[in-house]
Structure 1
Amino acid sequence: MSRIFRFELLRSNAPALAVLLLAAGLAGLALGGNLESTAWHTFAYVHSASMFLLLPLALAGGAVLGRREKRTKADELLASTPRPRGQRLLPGLLALGVAVAVGHLVVFVGGAVWLLTTGTYASAVTVLWPLTGVLVLAGGAWMGLAAGRAWGSPLVPPLVAVLGLVLQLGFSEIGPPGEPTYLENLSMLAQPPSYAWEAITGRALLGYAVLGAGLIGTGFLLAAGRNWIPRVAAVVLLGVAGTVAAIVPGRTADTHYRVDAGAQKLVCADGTPQVCVTAAHAQMLDDAAPRVREGMKFLAKLPSAQTRAVEWRADKVYVPGESDWSSTGATRPEPGTVNFDLSDQIGPALTENVVLAAGTLWNGCQGGQDLVAAHAVGAWLMGKDELTGVDDGLSYFPEMKKQVPEVVRQLRALPEKEQIRRVVAVREASLACQEDLLPLLTGKSSS
């Protein structure tokens, strides 16, 4: 058996399939602009999402091997041998499994090594994600082999690849727009995590594992079965596995992802004022600290200014469609501390991000933010008429954005002490979760 397996591993299309999956995985990362991803959980998701294209390729690769006996006109000869069909097919099936494992895992291992050399946070549990992906890809290859054995047409490999892609698209799009469904769990294009500290849950991993095991068992039964009994068993197995894989992971983001406490631990830069980021963004600290401290210098113009800056983080998983503050249970800043937002890539407006609303925009309050007042205060602190490059939603409201320069000009026309008093009033009101801040700047407040 081992000699035949080595033969299949070297002489079948398994090596070609491994190279194809490896190239497709790298191309998916490159075309998506994710080769420079610096967040462990984000990279794990992007790598897993490549299975959306790798699964059809695995189906096609299995179908190519499944056609071999009919293509070489050796099917009748091999069928006359006394060896059980399952035993005869097993070396080829195992060779396909090794091929998809190599093609899928090499990309992950390469990316993991690169991330670890940059000092980024990593979690060993996340390694289970690509391992369950191997089960799904192996199952796809075995299903393709069964299809190739059933129909010897050269059109079978491209047809099963297209079918695999269409089914995944169908599972993703079924249901009302914006409302997640259970069938989406059968598509490899899963919803992405929203933040770098969101890790995949055990139930989502279980869904992938059950689906992969179901595809493997179904493919084997269909390929090796000689009568209707194993074929009916294969259909039942696929139905049960598909149902479990669809239901167990749930439908919402907070059933697919969890907050990784280790990824949220704070890592602080040397020097003062103190600047801290989450472990998930630790490799960005050296670049972020100078920009954050620049913002802290502007905040120091105010009395009782904050003396510490900490990256904003949440204690719940973000649910798409809800505001960051109301759906994530965002942490409230400690006294004298600025919360700032830091995405996976440091933007050019990180300093501006710090001074928004006098360092209180990311205040952890549940409710909307007065972005006009927040921008006006930030622009006043930086000596500008308006802030540019800040991606906080104000750009989607041109009429509101036009108000900012006028509010800043009106504020600067006041005596200096009055300017400072109003800006401090906005800061304190924002920390107290007051939503209507603009009247405090314009002097139209009833208080």
Structure 2
Amino acid sequence: MSRIFAIELRRSNALTLAALLVVASAALFALSGNLRWSEWLMFAYVHASSLFLLLPLALAGGAVLGRRERRTRADELVAGTARPRLQRVLPGMLALAAAAGVAYLLVFAAGAVLLLTTGSYASAVTVLWPLSGMLVLAGGAWLGVAAGRAWSSLVVPPLVAVLGLLLQLGFSESGPPGEPSPLENLSMLAQPPSYDWEAINGRAVTGYAVLGVGLLLAGLLLAAGRSWVPRVAAAVVLGAAGTVAAIVPGTAMADRYHVDTAAQRLVCDGPVCVTQAHAYALGDAAPQVREALALLGKLPGAPTRAVEWRADEVYQPGESDWDGTGTTRPEPGTVNFDLGLDGGGSLVESIVAGAGTTWNGCRGGGRDLVAMHAAGAWLLGKDELTGVDDGLRYYPEMRQDVRDTVRELRALPAQEQLRRVTALRDASLACREDLLPLLTGARS
């Protein structure tokens, strides 16, 4: 059996499919704008979502192998042998599945090695995600073999590839806008995690694994069976696996992901602390955070320690960072901050905005952006903040309000200026929303 397997590995299209999968996966990584090569959990997501395009390729590769006997006009000769049909088709299918699975894991292993050399946070449990994806990819290849054996036309490989892609697109768009549907779990392009400390849940991994096993069994039954019995059994297996894979992972983000507390563990450089998931950014961020702490030191009772903000719940799309997601409240003498890794804003400005209270962990309500920007600009000695990515720059009238507020504030005696900015800070930490009157004197 092992000798036949080795022959099939060399003579079939298994190695060609493996090379194609590696190249396609590497290209998808290169084109991915969401990946930072220092974040383990986001890397795992991008690798898993590549199945959206790799699965159609595996279906096409399986169809090429499936039509081999009729394409070479050897189907009658092979069928005349005394060996059972399962023994004839299984070595080639095993070779194809092994090549596809190893290619998929090889890309993950290469990326993992690169991440580990950067000192990034890594979790061994995350490896279960690509292992379950490997089953899906191998199952797709076997289903493609069954399609190629059933219909040996030259159009079958591209046809099953397009069909696999269209089915996933249909599953992705199956629910109403903003309302996730269980069918979306059958698409390999899942909703990405929102933060770098959100890890895949066991429920989601189980869904991938069950779907993969269902594809494998259905493909084997259809490729090796001749009567209607294995065909019906394959339909039942595929339906059952699809149902489980659609229902078990759930529809909410909190069903698919969980907060990885190990990724949120703090790593510190003096008074500056970031999460383990972002430990690679500590060296660059620490000097800027210390500068912000020095500016906040102008106020009485100023914080002496800065800690990266982190959520204690999984983020649900459509909710604001401070409204829908539980956050860690700053401890006394501590200011929370966001590293702002997704944008090109100023870390110093984002910390001093609101006198250091932007990430105060309050729930509900909005933000008095004019007051928050005015307090930060006052601390920096500027007329406005230009490096804070909170949307205010799109409202010229609000930017003018910030400049007017800062100008009026600086016209007051120094002690009164200090008192008003301190009052804004304390009110913001107490989760009050109407902050501008505290700076303008309309309400003390």
Q: Deviations over 1:112-134 (max 9, x none)?
A: 11111111111000000011000
Indicate if the aligned counterparts of 2:264 and 2:276 stay in contact, CA closer than 8 A: yes
Query: By how many angstroms is 1:425 displaced?
Result: 0.4
Instruction: Answer whether contact 2:59 2:160 (CA < 8 A) is retained.
Output: yes
What is the aligned partner in structure 1 of residue 413 from structure 2? 415
> Which residue is 1:289 aligned to?
286
Q: Deviations over 1:270-299 (max 9, x none)?
A: x4xx00000010111101111111111111
Q: Paired residue for 1:137?
A: 137
The one of 346, 357, 371 aligned to 1:360: 357
On the 8 A contact 2:86/2:224 being kept in 1, the answer is yes
Partner of 2:439: 441
Match of 1:103 in 2: 103
Residue identity opposite 1:332 in structure 2: R
In 2: Cα distance, 1:393 partner to 1:181 partner: 31
Which letter does structure 1 place at the counterpart of 2:274? V
Q: Which position in structure 2 is the counterpart of 1:316?
A: 313
Is the deviation greater in 325-334 or in 202-211?
Answer: 325-334
The equivalent residue for 1:427 is 425
Q: Which residue does 1:380 correspond to in 2? A: 378
Q: For residue 153 of structure 1, report the CA deviation from its aligned partner.
A: 0.6
Which whole-Å CA distance do the structure 1 matches of 2:151 and 2:387 have between them?
58
Q: How does 1:264-343 map to 2 (within 5 A)?
A: 264-269=264-269, 271=270, 274-343=271-340
Q: CA deviation at 1:347?
A: 3.7
> Deviation at 1:36?
4.2
Residue 326 of structure 1: SS of its match in structure 2?
Answer: coil
Gaps of 5+ in 2: none
- Letter in structure 2 aligned against 1:322: E
AA aligned to 2:419 is R
CA contact 1:298–1:382 (8 Å) conserved in 2: yes
How far does residue 398 in structure 1 lie from its aligned partner after superposition? Answer: 4.2
Assess, with a 3 A threshold, how the Cα gap between structure 1 residues 2 and 325 changes in structure 2: closer, same or farther. Answer: same
Under a length normalisation based on structure 2, what TM-score does the superposition of the two structures give?
0.98
Residue type at the aligned position of 1:147: A
Please say if 1:122 is aligned against 2:128: no
Alpha-carbon distance in structure 2 between the residues aligned to 1:179 and 1:416: 53
AA partner of residue 327 (structure 1): G
Question: Which amino acid is the alignment partner of residue 302 of structure 1?
Answer: L
From the superposition, tell whether residues 132 and 34 of structure 1 become closer, same or farther in structure 2 (CA, over 3 Å).
same
Whole-angstrom CA distance in 2 between matches of 1:145 and 1:344 = 45
- Contact kept, 8 Å, 1:38 with 1:344, in 2: the verdict is no
Offset from partner CA, 1:38-86 (integer Å, 9 cap, x none): 1110110011111111000000110111110010001111111121111
Matches of 2:400 and 2:228 in 1, distance apart?
Answer: 72
Deviations 1:392-423 (A, max 9, x none): 23235444333211211111111111111110
Alpha-carbon shift at residue 371 of structure 1 (Å) = 1.5
Counterpart in the other structure of 2:225:
225
Query: What is the rounded CA distance, in whole Å, between the counterparts of 1:401 and 1:4 in structure 2?
Result: 73
What SS class does the counterpart of residue 306 from structure 2 fall into? strand
- CA separation of 1:170 and 1:397: change in aligned 2, threshold 3 A: farther
Q: Say if 1:176 and 1:396 are closer, same or farther in 2 by CA, change over 3 A.
A: farther
Report the residue type matching 2:5 in the other structure: F
- Which amino acid in the other structure matches residue 390 of structure 2? D
Per-residue CA distance 1:164-196 (angstroms, 9 max, x = gap): 110001100112111111000000000000101
State the identity as a percent: 71
Distance 2:123 2:257 in 1: 14
Structure 1 runs not aligned, ≥5 long: none
Between the aligned partners of 1:32 and 1:22, the Cα distance in structure 2 is 15
Q: Please provide the CA RMSD for this pair.
A: 1.2
Runs of 4+ displaced beyond 4 Å:
343-346
Show the counterpart of 1:196.
196
What is the 5 A alignment of 1:209-248?
209-248=209-248
Cross-structure match for 2:67: 67
1:401 aligned residue: 399
Alpha-carbon separation, structure 1, partners of 2:313 and 2:16: 44
Partner of 2:18: 18
Q: Any conservation in 1 of the 2:343–2:389 contact (CA below 8 Å)?
A: no
Separation (CA, whole Å) in 2 of partners of 1:399 and 1:225: 72
Deviates most, 42-51 or 101-110: 101-110
Aligned residues: 443
**Residue pair 1:314, 1:331 contacting (<8 A) in 2 also:** yes
Amino acid in structure 2 at the alignment position of 1:292: V
Following superposition, the deviation at residue 345 of structure 1 comes to 5.0
Paired residue secondary structure (1:81): coil
